[in-house]
Amino acid sequence: MEYRTLGSSGLQVSPICLGTMTFGTPVAEPEAIRLVHESIDLGINFIDTANSYEGYDRVVGSSGGVAEKILGNALHDRRDRVVLATKVCSPLGPGPQDRGLSAAHITRELDRSLENLRTDYLDLYIIHWPDRLTPLETMLEAMDRAVRQGKVRCFGSSNHTAAQLCEMLWIADVRRLMKVVASQIPYSMLTRHFHNDLEFCAAHDISVTPYQSLQGGLLTGKYKRGAAPPAGSRAAEKPEWVATTDDALHDRLEALGELAKEAGVPVVQYVLAWTLDQPAMTSLVYGTKRIEQVRDAIAALEVKIPEAHHERIDELFPRPWRQADPIRG
């Protein structure tokens, strides 16, 4: 496994990051622990969770902590072998302090995450969502304090635009606070609305760690036109977590299948390799239920997308519209 540097942190991470959103249900604790151990044995050293994750049982405002506790049990005797990330911001209860990025919530949730994860430090602490009620400066001060206390090594953002990252960098610079090192955004062939932010991240040493690059499994080639979803798949078990398909989408997915066939690789590997080829991409946050799927993801690291395919992929899955720069063209 070739490791990559996470932003300006100096931390070395595998290009595949193990996502844990399915831990609890449908991936029960013993299977989840096995999956973590086997993934580490295969060379994966980057693991992503969130204080709110509790598998398919999650509803907005439920108390979370399930995936973190499972991970804590999986990692207690091998903590130093992984770069461990968790997140804060999502609502965890009905109270006004049960969500967001205030110093009160971050401080409380950081201690709870450390306890759940059975560790005394996080490698990467991620702000899960923007919080319009808390100024970025307040959040940055709370993160900076956590780093100085030794509870957090570095911090990242999730679901923030380049403009918000730019403001974070600017405040951190002026106030001499910790800089954001990584950005976790949704990014796949079907979800490219953050595409124009990637160059900004590359220019400012912010690693992009995209999530849902398989669009919940839709970009694996396993969902066929007119056929019921395969047994045990997400669309069969939790349909609301997979976008609905129609004929137009099936046309595009079938065309994608043809491209992968031309390249001589399975669709999953083709899609993951293409995603990692985009600017600033450092490590894909990969959802999985089985170690065979992890092997597929690792195999994708050897795949090279033929040069001529990039334009054809852009035609099938267009980038967002971009206004021409009047000075630079």
**Minimum distance of ligand NAP from residue 155's CB (angstroms):** 14
- Exactly one of 119, 220, 275, 282 binds ligand NAP (CB under 6 A); that residue is 220
Residues 138/100, Cβ–Cβ less than 8 Å: no
The residue (of 102 and 209) whose beta carbon lies closer to ligand NAP is 209
Count of residues engaged in binding ligand NAP, rule: CB under 6 A: 28
- Exactly one of 6, 11, 21, 198 binds ligand NAP (CB under 6 A); that residue is 21
**DSSP secondary structure of 122-183:** EEEEEE-S--TTS-HHHHHHHHHHHHHTTSEEEEEEES--HHHHHHHHHHHHHHT-PPEEEE
The residue (of 135 and 229) whose beta carbon lies closer to ligand NAP is 229
Residues 41, 287: Cα–Cα separation, whole Å = 18
Which residue, among 140, 87, 158, 93, has the nearest Cα to 117 in the 3D structure?
Answer: 87
Q: Which of residues 240-299 bind ligand NAP (CB under 6 A)?
A: 268, 285-289, 293, 296
Of 3, 53, 211, 286, the active-site residue reads 53
Residues 221, 255: Cα–Cα separation, whole Å = 11
- Exactly one of 6, 13, 14, 20 binds ligand NAP (CB under 6 A); that residue is 20
Binding mask 148-187 for ligand NAP (x = CB under 6 A): ----------xx------------------------x---
CA dihedral 54, 296, 158, 145 (to 10 degrees): 80
Counting contacts by CB under 6 A, is residue 223 touching ligand NAP?
Answer: no
Which range binds ligand NAP by CB under 6 A, 20-28, 36-44, 133-141, 320-328? 20-28
Q: Which two tokens stand for residue 60?
A: 């907005």
Which residue, among 19, 20, 22, has the nearest Cα to 241 in the 3D structure?
Answer: 22
Residues 25/43, Cβ–Cβ less than 8 Å: no
Binding mask 40-79 for ligand NAP (x = CB under 6 A): --------x-------------------------------
Please say if 286 is a catalytic residue.
no
Counting contacts by CB under 6 A, is residue 9 touching ligand NAP?
Answer: no
Q: Which two tokens stand for residue 212?
A: 């849902």
Residues 310, 307: Cα–Cα separation, whole Å = 6
Residues 171, 161: Cα–Cα separation, whole Å = 16
- Exactly one of 191, 215, 245, 278 binds ligand NAP (CB under 6 A); that residue is 215
Residues designated catalytic: 53
- Binding positions for ligand NAP, rule: CB under 6 A: 19-22, 48, 128, 158-159, 184, 211-217, 220, 222, 233-234, 268, 285-289, 293, 296
